[in-house]
Amino acid sequence: MSRTPEQILREAQRIALVGASKNPERPSHDVMRYLLSQGYDVVPVNPGCDEVLGVPAVGSIAEVEPPIDLVDVFRRADAAPGHAREAVAAGAKAFWLQLDLHSPEARRICEDAGLDYVENACTAIVHRTL
């Protein structure tokens, strides 16, 4: 990783939030609400819903209007490599796995393609330290 998590968040504008949920009890819902309140352009990526927090959802990272500064993933670790490949194909600048998520394969995919990579960290928690 060439940029720190803090640098990634300082420089990001558009965030594709993979696994965004309409359920207010899910961490992805709370984090998306927080990121929106901080002025980020957050695009929910969830093929199972049409909108989250009033923002139209898309079914895949490929459907997010570029540029994508950050792909923030709230899915199981075994889904991370596939999302990493999607992030690379979409031209994303950074890939982030939320708390308790680790994926050596996703890390390799991202780093080989030149994407900044963060794992086991929450975007909202890191942002609050800025």
Structure token digits, residue 7: 């640098």
pTM of model > 0.95: yes
Which class for 106: exposed (0-12), middle (13-18), buried (19 or more C-beta within 10 A)?
buried
Q: 82-123, pLDDT tens digit by residue? A: 999 999 999 999 999 999 999 999 999 999 999 999 999 999
Residue 126 in contact with residue 119, Cβ under 8 Å?
no
Give residue 1's pLDDT: 52
pLDDT tens-digit map of 49-89: 999 999 999 999 999 999 999 999 999 999 999 999 999 99
Query: Which domains does the chain show, CATH number per domain?
Result: 5-128 (3.40.50.720)
Phi, psi of 77 (to 5 degrees): -60, -30
Are 121 and 102 in contact, with CB atoms under 8 Å apart? no
pLDDT band at 2 (very low <50, low <70, confident <90, very high): confident
Average model confidence (pLDDT) for the chain?
97
**8-58: per-residue pLDDT in tens?**
999 999 999 999 999 999 999 999 999 999 999 999 999 999 999 999 999
